[in-house]
Structure 1
Amino acid sequence: MDFRTVMGTENRQTFIAALARTHGSRLRRFLELKLRGASADASDLVQDVYLRLLRMPRHETIRSPQAYLFTVARNVLYEHRLNHAAASKAVEMDEVLAEIEAYVQDDPGAYIDAVRQLEQFDQALSGLSPRAYATFVLQRRYGYTLDEIAKQLGVSRPMVKKYLAKAVQHCRQHFEGVR
């Protein structure tokens, strides 16, 4: 389909519908592959991609609609992963606190120290950039390899190594400053 014809019109919805007809199934497969088969999440992300395109003020300025579509999809996927990592972090903190409470019930001082250390760790992680944070969580929490993280974030393996080194260095500096 020639998108230049559609893009010349003022109807943004017609443009989005043409993109969906032409590239919709490929977009969905792309997201499912990146999400490792989570089709329910992929459906939500496909909708989010099209919603973002609908909000774009000047769709007629897009030179390559297919490339733009997949760029938006990568951004939506990236934000989804960051939100997922942040949500799992909150759940993990609750689980760790419950475990600590079970072990130190007889020693309130030990419990307070453990909670203080967890709060300091959480504070250290909150100072990271989103990509460094995601890299750290994916590697340390979920056990992803550097190659898997690179694929998930859409960056090179050396860049993942830089993000991870930055995260570890940031945490070290944070804890050295706390002591």
Structure 2
Amino acid sequence: MMLKRRDSFLKESYQRYRDELYRYLRRMVNGRSQEAKDITQMAFTRLAALTDPQTLRNPRAFLYTTARNIVIDRARRRQVKAKHMEEVPLESWHEPGHGISPEHIALDRERLAVLKTVIENLPAKPRRIFVLNRVYGLSYREIAEEMGLKEENVKKHVFRALKKCTTEMAKIYKNSAPSTPTDEMPKSSK
């Protein structure tokens, strides 16, 4: 029953907002049709990835915010890539030290799997808030409005989840532990 409701919600949202979101994105990406299609699909994929997307008060706002954040992230990546392309001469790319070793990739994958497990073990509400903020890029305010919470409570949930992730990762990787966050609440709007 719950699965049918979820599927119905996703199908209805896709039919209702897809074309509108695509047109908005096409304007945002200067008419690049394929990029607008890709980002539209990514936004809906992120909606579908939510545990209970049908509980969103405003799925349209979620889709637009998610899509806008994807556009911004892509632009940032292009800038970083362009900067690094200028800094590293093309002829040196094949030299040792300019690539990522298989060991480094394996270690990163292992750490990501551990982090994923830590996040999955968070209680449902803090996990959802943390994922909306850190994975989907929603601001504290946007999450507060979406979930009917005070912005300050959203900040606390994100901070506690970050602290838990950092602590758990430090227990596992004592030699290469990330720095732990301070006991001070974050001041940014994200």
TM-score range, shorter chain: 0.3 to 0.5
TM-score w.r.t. the length of structure 2 is: 0.42
- Which protein has the bigger helix share? 1
TM-score w.r.t. the length of structure 1 is: 0.45
